[in-house]
Amino acid sequence: MWGQETLSLKDCIEIGLERNYAIRIVRNEQQISANNATLGNAGYLPSLDLSGGFSGTLNDNRNDLRSGERERTTGVHNETANIGLNMSWTLFDGFGIQATYERLKELERMGELNTRMTIEDFVASLSAEYYNLIRQQIRLNNLRSSLDLSKERLRIVEQSHSIGTMSLLDLQQARVDFNSDSSKVLNQLEVVHRSSVQLKELLAVDDIDTNLQIRDSVIFPNPFLDEVELWQNTLESNAALLIAQKNKTLSELDYKRVRSRNFPYLRLNAGYGYTANWYELGSYDLQQRLGLNYGVTIGMSLFDGFNRRREQRNARIDIENRELRKQELELGLQADLSNLWMAYQNNLDLWRLEKENLVAAQEHFSVAMDRYKLRELSGIELREAQNNLLEAEERRSIAEYNTKLCEISLLQLSGQILTYVAPPNPDEVSE
């Protein structure tokens, strides 16, 4: 698979969701929470034990009788063997069992939310790195194009210098600019490599040196997000907000479990077993018993040093704190959304502006190159036009990438990142 086909963002996400180590770990933790959410773990079901044993005694006995006689026996050997089934079942404990079971189910749902949050973080990180690799490749292509222009300029200068129409200073300057552009290309190759390695690390590839080809070569920001819709989705779907609500629910269930100690408890005990005793002295050589035993226990804690009252007060305070944390988180999300939306709108405007600037810079450089070939423009002026073109391309690429990062962050904040693969090309939509 690796190196044999190009991968889209959707392909990378699908591969990462299957292979990424952090996701595999959190899914295992979710499975543990699901395994724990059982009736037996909550205490609904009885416990049944099978036990057996064997014991013996070896004694020397001395008995003083009322008649004044004394009896002595040595080496008296007695043995006992038993086997039985014992059942214990708490039928009622003040609704504590019910609260415990509800808490286990909430922890199971919490495990699902933790998995979802980890997946959302992964998809956001993977998407950002995917588009960063595109941006760095775009910059590499721009630098290579600039290097080709410098190479062409050097060729022109060398030819002109050979026939005496350009000075040695012009030739040296052209070579310096060519070498400078070559250095930039080499440095950018390293940046592209680092981004590719980071992407492969997120995908958990077996060999980090595997050749990875991505399908996309351009970045298309999505200009059609809606702030009101994003905030509504945040309130309904944000994973951190949902986890905060679950934490409050868990605190409420902990309070119910503490309050359950105010009520009486009812337990059922039963057993069925066999016991055998072997006696060396006495009226019996062997005594055997086979039968059923049962009983019901009802009780209530009347006083425990005011610990229940203390725990109930603390539980109520914890519920209040969970609600305050939820409100604090909601306010923080609102602030984050406001900042991200401002950045998103600003970068969209910059992106549109830089696209226009790039067209102007391309036209300006084309005219400058024609004038340079006609000896109407100096090498320094041509270099300035070349740098202006490269800077315009870089600014447009940065605006595209920053807009895409804001878009990814907004979708993650609103809980919609898992439905995100790649938004439509706005140029195609406008057509």
Inform me whether the pLDDT recorded for 419 exceeds 70. Answer: yes
Both tokens assigned to 335: 């602030």
Residue type for position 65: L
* Neighbouring-strand partners of residue 77: 58
Helix pair 21-36, 96-162: axis angle to 10 deg:
170
Q: Return d(Cα 164, Cα 375) in angstroms, integer.
A: 13
The single-letter DSSP state of residue 166 is: S
Residue spans per domain, the chain: 9-37+93-264+300-329
- Cα distances (angstroms) measured from residue 142 to each of 42, 64, 181, 266: 64, 114, 11, 79
Inform me whether the pLDDT recorded for 421 exceeds 70. Answer: no
Q: Return d(Cα 350, Cα 394) in angstroms, integer.
A: 12
Inform me whether the pLDDT recorded for 240 exceeds 90. Answer: yes
pLDDT at res. 72: 79
Inform me whether the pLDDT recorded for 333 exceeds 70. Answer: yes
The tokens 């990814």 sit on which residue?
A: 408
Inform me whether the pLDDT recorded for 282 exceeds 90. Answer: no
Q: What is the sign, positive or negative, of the torsion defined by CA atoms of 393, 399, 405, 411?
A: negative
If pLDDT is split at 50, 70 and 90, which confidence band does 69 have? Answer: confident
Inform me whether the pLDDT recorded for 15 exceeds 60. Answer: yes
**pLDDT one-digit tens code per residue, 23-41:** 999 999 999 999 999 999 9
**pLDDT one-digit tens code per residue, 116-156:** 999 999 999 999 999 999 999 999 999 999 999 999 989 98
Q: Return d(Cα 158, Cα 187) in angstroms, integer.
A: 27
Q: Return d(Cα 270, Cα 293) in angstroms, integer.
A: 6
**pLDDT one-digit tens code per residue, 345-391:** 999 999 999 999 999 999 999 999 899 888 888 888 989 999 999 99
Inform me whether the pLDDT recorded for 426 exceeds 70. Answer: no
Inform me whether the pLDDT recorded for 425 exceeds 70. Answer: no
pLDDT at res. 20: 94
HSE-up of 35 (CA within 13 Å, CB side)? 6
Q: Return d(Cα 205, Cα 211) in angstroms, integer.
A: 10
Higher pLDDT pick, 281 / 204: 204
pLDDT at res. 1: 52
Inform me whether the pLDDT recorded for 163 exceeds 90. Answer: no
pLDDT at res. 429: 41
- Residue 100 CB contacts under 8 Å (≥ 6 apart), including other chains: 42, 43, 253, 257
Q: Return d(Cα 268, Cα 340) in angstroms, integer.
A: 60
Q: Return d(Cα 58, Cα 74) in angstroms, integer.
A: 9
The tokens 């939820």 sit on which residue?
A: 326
Inform me whether the pLDDT recorded for 294 exceeds 50. Answer: yes
Instruction: Determine contact, residues 346/285, Cβ cutoff 8 Å.
Output: no
Q: Return d(Cα 89, Cα 268) in angstroms, integer.
A: 5
If pLDDT is split at 50, 70 and 90, which confidence band does 187 have? Answer: very high
Q: Return d(Cα 34, Cα 105) in angstroms, integer.
A: 8
Inform me whether the pLDDT recorded for 424 exceeds 50. Answer: no
Mean pLDDT, residues 295-316: 92
By three-state DSSP, how is residue 57 classified?
strand
**pLDDT one-digit tens code per residue, 189-225:** 999 999 999 999 999 998 888 888 999 889 999 999 9
Q: Tell me the average pLDDT of the chain.
A: 90
Query: Is 9-37+93-264+300-329 a domain of CATH 1.10.1040.10?
Result: no
